Structure 1
Amino acid sequence: MRFLTGQAENPEPGRRAVLTRALGLAAAAGLATAAATPAAQAAVRASQADWRFCTKCYGLFFRGYPSDGACPAGGGHDSAGYNFNIPHDIPETPTAQHNWRFCTKCYGMFFWGYPDNGRCPAGNAHAAAGYDFVLPHDIPETANSQRNWRFCPKCYGLYFYGYPTNGRCPAGNAHSVAGYDFVLPHL
């Protein structure tokens, strides 16, 4: 390979010329990739694991702390099943809804898109903190995702709707079903 220099063509380029050329090509390729797929790259980077299913209330809760929050069925949540890896702080799309938040009192996932914040099992309304989670919905389930996660219009929580009963709602009795069929990615 021959490189052009500021003078005549050089059949044996110097080390500096080779490195400069290689670094320039690598940087250009990196910029082209970043510019071509910013949403895809953000989606890969912007996710949080340790979201789990609670066997008592059927809700989705964050299991990344020493305690397990407050479960409407009493005590802390009991985790089972998949380790969900939930996307956050990415653009909403026709098949992904934002405004889902972590509650600092019960550790559950709830919808933060109404004037009030629903009913928290730790008392009063949920307390939002952290990321703006963006939940995929109404898309095909894959080997790395699970469908049948639904919004409860009584407590505003997200719960699993795949059993004959609907778990335990902090607003009383079982959760009610409304809205999209959320499809959550898992590890």
Structure 2
Amino acid sequence: MPHDHDAGRLSRRRLIGGTLAASTTALGAAAFASAAPAVAGSSAGFRWCNRCQGMWFRSSGDSGHCPVHHWWDHSHYEEGSGTYWFTDGTPQPGQDRFGMLALKWCLTCKAAYFSGGRGVCPNNENGHTPSARTFRIETDLQPPLSNFPKQGGWCRCRRCRALFYLPHLGRSHCPAATGPTPWHDGAYVRTGSGWRYENHLPRLK
């Protein structure tokens, strides 16, 4: 895949606009709710962090380590988040298998990230520490999609591998970012109509 600086053909505004058209539900639309217990088959323990704009796993006993932090506070913040849920690699009888089996959460920072590499963790120089469970995430890159309520506009960061909310790119914070802006570097794909950001669709309770 080409990089953001290649050949001027990739306008951040155009890419974001194409992905926004696929977004379905505002982040604050779903009321805050406590996470369901994590059991084999599915988990509703995932939340959006309003500081770094990433998805994180809040059902692990602590608030993790957000890349946006002060020395006295490195917690992910879940205020305003909906309740996100995913199925895992050991579905219960009759459970659906929509989506790609690719999402893990980091045992150190609690970020939800894409497997296939350890990425960059803000609290572990060796990268993300993978959860035992791997979860399925629906994406328009791999149809068909289920009929469950979903939210579009989520993307994979090419540097740290985290799942983040693309419409808030300018407020996002990647632990691997360098230069004047700390933003995530969204992954993109080429389609018949040109280049666009990946669009992943976590399920909403």
TM-score range, shorter chain: 0.5 to 0.7
- In structure 2, the gaps of 5 or more residues are 1-39, 92-97, 189-197
More relative contact order, 1 or 2 (CA 8 Å, 6+ apart):
2
Structure 1 or 2, whichever has the larger Rg, is 1
In terms of fraction of residues, the more helix-rich structure is 1
Identity %: 24
Paired position in structure 2 for 1:127: 129
1:102 aligns with 2:120: no
- In structure 1, the gaps of 5 or more residues are 1-44
Is the 2:53–2:168 Cα contact (8 Å) retained in structure 1? no
Of 61, 68, 84, which aligns to 2:63? 68
Q: Specify the code of the residue in structure 1 equivalent to 2:76.
A: H
Q: How does 1:34-49 map to 2 (within 5 A)?
A: 46-49=41-44
Is the 1:96–1:137 Cα contact (8 Å) retained in structure 2? yes
Structure 2: how far apart are the matches of 1:137 and 1:102? 18
TM-score, with length taken from structure 1: 0.67
Report how many residues are paired: 140
Paired position in structure 2 for 1:183: 201
1:57 aligns with 2:52: yes
Q: Specify the code of the residue in structure 1 equivalent to 2:135.
A: F
With over 3 angstroms needed to count, the CA separation of the structure-2 counterparts of 1:143 and 1:72, relative to structure 1, is: same
Structure 1: how far apart are the matches of 2:165 and 2:146? 14
TM-score, with length taken from structure 2: 0.62
Q: How does 1:1-187 map to 2 (within 5 A)?
A: 46-74=41-69, 75-79=74-78, 80-89=80-89, 96-114=99-117, 117-124=118-125, 125-138=127-140, 144-163=149-168, 165-172=170-177, 173-179=182-188, 180-187=198-205
